[in-house]
Structure formats: C-alpha cells, structure tokens
Structure 1
C-alpha cells in the first residue's frame, strides 16, 4: 500500500520529504560524558598577554593528561598525592605552550569526572579545596617560594607565586560542581621576563575559564 501511495504521489509531481534530524554539536556533550569537549577551553583572546603572544586555540594542542597535576605543584615541590587522589580516575586533557627563556609559558587543563554529577561535583570540590590548601602551604615544601592568594572563593582561586630567581607564576583554578569539572590556567616565567605582566582582573580570567564549561557540558548550568 505504501509503495502504491508513493507511486501515485510521484506521478502527481509531489515530492516525498524524509525528515532529517539535526546532528549534535561534536564540540559538546552531556555533563556525565567521558571526554573533554573541544568547546571546554578558555578562548585564546581571554588569556592574559594575548596581545603579545597571540595564543592559539588550546583544543588543538590538548593531549590526554594521565597525571593531571596543577602547575603550582611543581614550583612548590608539593608532596606526591595519595594513591586515592580523585584525579587518578578523572578524564583530563592538558595544553602546554613553551616559550624561549625570559618569555611566558602557558599550561591549561580541564579535568572532568564521569558519571553522576552529584558525586563528580563532590570530587571536584575536594580536589579544589586540597589544591588551595597545598598552595597556601607552599613554603613548607619550597621555603624560598612566596605564594600570594589574590582571589579566594568557594570554587574559584587566583594566586601569584614568586621565587628568589625572579621566576613567577600566575595560577588560576575554577571548579564547577554542576558538571564535575575543574579548569586550570597557569602562566609563568622561569626568570625575569622580558615581557612585563599586563595587569588583568582575576575575575575576568576566572569568568573566562568558567564560561566555556556551561556550553561544553550541555544543560549543566541551567
């Protein structure tokens, strides 16, 4: 019967239209997905010193971070985390840019916990809180390093760390419990940089880090 109807319609010049569903955006995924969407990274133009370094799209540089440590942990010689560190079972990606001496280097990370967001949110909060504590205690493991927390909020942190050799690190961290994710941005120089740091409000950088997560993990910020 269907073939007969189709033949009749075709003979009358009536086109048969098959509904086509719109493809999902490959940049995004639900909050409980097991990957880091390409849309989760901070926009290059929102990264400090963009006017000098013209940072590229970080998603094009990202690689799987098997051990997603924060940049300050190296500068602070933070003791190795326990074997039950929640980061060991998260999915994470890291993007790094290495520059010549006396220039600024960059590291960005997105760390995401799969599964139920209520549990992933707890893990993200725990890792964030431990990171803030470790940064504040930096001088216990690296006495010559001076940490200064410039923004301390329940799920957002910014800090500047300096050492006698004039190395300096600008560290930013955001935890979003709604999509079980932590995002990091770090910029540092291992000696007196030839490019002076351009003052930028912590809130502007932290907002730019957080905003993409609401897009990348569909519906998580409603």
Structure 2
C-alpha cells in the first residue's frame, strides 16, 4: 500500500495547531494510506476526497481546486510510492484560496538503498513490455518505495489474474491499494473519483527492494513479459 510516514495522530496534531477542527473541511487523497483522512476526523473536521493524477498517483491540483468550498481549511497531500506530491502547484492553489497546506513529514531515506531502487526501476522501465511502468514528473525525485505498474485490460479481474500468474512463477507482487479510502466503512463517501477507482483497480507493485539480486530482478521482468500484459 502507499505508505505515509505520518500517523493519524500526527495529522490531527498538525491540524489542531492550525486551529482546524469542527465545521472545517480538509481535502485529502483517497488513493493511498488512510492516515490523512483519519487524522482529519480525529481533529473534528471533515475529510473531502479529491481525485489523483493517473500518471503520478498523487493529488490532482485541478480536482483539488474543484473540491474547495467555503468551509475548506486545508489540503493534505501525500507522496505516493515515493513520487512527491505536486507541492508547487498545490502551494499556489492554497495561497489563492487562503488554505493551509499540511506537508507530509518524511523520514530520512538511506541514500544507498534509494540509489539501488532507482537503478532497479531504470532496469524495469527498459525491460518490461505489456504493462504501464511508473511515470516520474520532470524534475521530481522518485524514491521508488514501491514500483507500481498498471496492468492493461479490464481493471481488477485482469490485475488480480496477473498477480496470481506472477506468484505461480515465483514473483511476489502486491496489490498497491486494495481499497481506496473513500470506500472504507469509516469514510464511505458517494464522491466520484474516476481516476482513483481506475488506478486502484489496475495497479500492482513489483519487488524492487534493495535485497534483490540482478538475477532475481531479471526474473521479475521475464515473468511479466511472458504474460504479455493481458491474460
């Protein structure tokens, strides 16, 4: 799953320090961890879910802008799978509407591990056929905490079949975001988030952890390519 280094309690405390609480709305992503939305509720405010950019999987500033109301007090962007949120554009938007921008606190990453993950990602970018490899916004520094590909086809059924076929070939791939946050019982909402729904249905995270050998990484690529992207 898309991980966040901030807990719900940390988000709650950050919002309370800004005086945000009952009667306020805070815009959060649905694709990723539940901590931002949970923290908003703990602060007494109401989470409002905005859609994502289908390339970076991060909050889409256009959707964020469309979600602003007279009650909106803040935006909580999240870095997804190691791709940074578009803070420059969101900062401009926050200034325009007079909103707080609560940036995610990040832990210090081991430079060697990050360099190795990036090297693995570059290999997979060039080796994989039949799946959509991760996109990196120009100028962004992707950490590749997860290497999430998109499986072409009919969404969840084809993605799940692809994952099962990889496991049969000895490759452990993980469903990136099993359930978007706005579909979870604690936050169930009727909001329409088409890109979030599509990305949640067809993404799969392939292993790129620093313990992999080049032989194992090549096997990951070969196993994916043998499936041709579609089953």
TM-score normalised to structure 1 length? 0.26
More strand by share: 1
Relative contact order, higher structure (CA 8 A, sep 6+): 1
More helix by share: 2
From the CA coordinates, give the structure whose radius of gyration is larger.
1
TM-score normalised to structure 2 length? 0.25
